[in-house]
Every structure is written in structure tokens, then in C-alpha cells.
Amino acid sequence: MLEREFKSWFFSSLQEQYEQRELGNIYQLCLEEISGLNALQRLVLDFQSLSPEQLLLGQAYMRDLKEGKPVQQVLGFADFYGLRFTVNPHVLIPRPETEELVSWLLEYCRKENLTTVNILDIGTGSGCIPISLKRELPLARLTAIDISSEAIGLARDNAIALEANCHFLELDFLEESKWEELPIAEILISNPPYISRDESELMPDRVLRYEPHLALFPEHEDHLIFYRKLAAFAVHRKDEIKSVFLEINEHDGPQILEILNEAGLEAELRKDLQGRDRMIRANFETTLK
């Protein structure tokens, strides 16, 4: 089959599920995997037709996409901070706003000349945060935890594949008795479960069906429980923790700032590139630098 014929079939089959621009991006990702060539290589090699084997793979991708499965899970990977991470239904698909959180932390470390710093990631999922940080800060010591054994296993695999020496622990952070098992950390970073059950009705079906609820919704009636525990942990380790970086729901900024302020932390709210309040940095100093 000619590539242009396959493209027409791909778009007509999936146009009800996806907006045109998003569908175009999805098609390019799928075509790269189907052909084994990037856009420049396809141009240079004049890629115009699909072999029977390539067509079968393309059809399989289309079936999964039509069912609503996220393209990252269809392909088995997600790109994050210039790296390619294996993903599966046991971990959240890395998001662009989390890349911005990583950039903010790196900006802070470089400004403060923190090269051998100890960093602790709470709720690591695929390991995208600690692995990306370790690649940028090779002398830093990265520890990451998650309650999910499947997530920890995948994060370890990603760390090996991406040659990032990180330490991973399976641990329930909400159990304060477990905190003594955690190593020294000067920086705390987390993208915890923070979506309230009431908000689930507003979420895309593909997220609810295919991404782990354990990583989306806190198993507690208070959907901000992780931020309360993170603030309490920072107080518990006040002598060592220099700064805390958090990803948040854009609607919860004022409440989380209040939680942090009541714990004695001074906090700064930052917008993402879409203009939404999605990140907070906090510390115990009188003035944030």
C-alpha cells in the first residue's frame, strides 16, 4: 500500500477520536515506528509504500488508537526531556508540565551551584523525573520511591536503559513510620496523585481507562493528603531539606500554598507555558531566591 493511501485511511478511521492537529502528530509517531525511519530519512530514502508487515503493524496501531488507548501506550514509549522512556499501564504517561518542573529544579541547582546534591522523588512512576535529573546532574544522588512494585520495576528498567544511576524504593509515603527508611535529601520533588474523585467526570476517557488510578487519585477522602504529608516530611527533615518542588492541579494553588505556609515553608507559585498554575517551590528561608 502506498504511504499516502495509508495516511488517508489512518486519518479517516480516527478523525472522530482526535482533533486534526493531534492526529497529525500521532500519525508521524506511528509512521516512524512502522517504517523505522525518521522524517528526514523517509525524505532522503523516498519512502513511499508500506510492506505487508509494515501494514499489519499500522493496522494494529489503528485498532488500539480507535479503542482510545494513548499513543504512548500503543507504541510503548514516551519522550521526556530529550529521553525516551518505556511506559505501560502501570505508570502515568510523562507530561510536558512535568518537564517544566524538572527544568525549574535544574535552574535552581545551577544557580546555587548544587552539583553533588541529594534529591528525593516521591511517586516516581516511570522514573522520568529522577532519570532526567541524573542525566543533567551526574554527580547528584537520586533516590525515588513509589507504592507500586510494577512502577518501581519499570523505573529501574528505564534507568538501566538510559544509563542513569538512580536508587529506587517501593514504599508508601503516606505511612509516616516508613520515613526513617528514606535517605538524606536536600531537595524534595514530587508529582503526586492529586485529582479529586469529583473531577474524574471531567477527565478524558483515555486517561481514566488506560492510566493507573493509583497515580491519579489519592486513596483518601482528602485529595490534598500528599501535599500535607510532603509538608510534614519537610518539617521532619527541616535540618537537611533546602527546597521542595511540587507539581499541582491548577485549581489547588491557594490551598497548597496555605498548607505549606502553615508548616513554616515560604512558597512560590509558577505558571506553566499554558499560563496555568502548575508548580510550586518552597523552602524554610525567609526569602526565596
pLDDT digits (tens, 9 = 90+) for 183-194: 999 999 999 998
**Residue 220: its pLDDT value, please?**
82
**Residue 286: its pLDDT value, please?**
54
Question: What pTM does this model have?
Answer: 0.93
Assign 207 a pLDDT band (cuts: 50, 70, 90). confident
**Residue 288: its pLDDT value, please?**
52
**Residue 199: its pLDDT value, please?**
78
* pLDDT, tens digit, 9 for 90 and up, residues 82-91: 999 999 999 9
Q: Assess whether pLDDT exceeds 60 at residue 92.
A: yes
Mean per-residue pLDDT for 216-224? Answer: 86
Between 8-17, 126-135, 157-166, 204-213, the lowest mean confidence (pLDDT) is in 204-213
Mean per-residue pLDDT for 123-138? Answer: 98
**Residue 22: its pLDDT value, please?**
93
Assign 3 a pLDDT band (cuts: 50, 70, 90). very high
**Residue 203: its pLDDT value, please?**
75
Q: Assess whether pLDDT exceeds 70 at residue 222.
A: yes
Q: Which residues contact 166 (CB under 8 A, 6 or more apart)?
A: 127, 130, 131, 134, 142, 143, 144, 155, 159
Q: Assess whether pLDDT exceeds 80 at residue 127.
A: yes
CB count, 10 Å around CB of 179? 14
**Residue 161: its pLDDT value, please?**
98
* pLDDT, tens digit, 9 for 90 and up, residues 237-271: 999 999 999 999 999 999 999 999 999 999 999 99
Which is it for strands 243-247 and 187-190: parallel, antiparallel or unpaired? parallel
Assign 44 a pLDDT band (cuts: 50, 70, 90). confident
Assign 55 a pLDDT band (cuts: 50, 70, 90). very high
Q: Assess whether pLDDT exceeds 80 at residue 170.
A: yes
Mean per-residue pLDDT for 122-141? Answer: 98
Q: Assess whether pLDDT exceeds 60 at residue 69.
A: yes
As a whole number of angstroms, the distance between CA 205 and CA 218 comes to 19
**Residue 249: its pLDDT value, please?**
93
Of the candidates 244, 248, 249, 247, the one whose C-alpha atom is nearest the C-alpha of residue 267 is 244
CA distances from 4 to 28, 29, 64, 155, 280 (A): 12, 15, 21, 38, 46
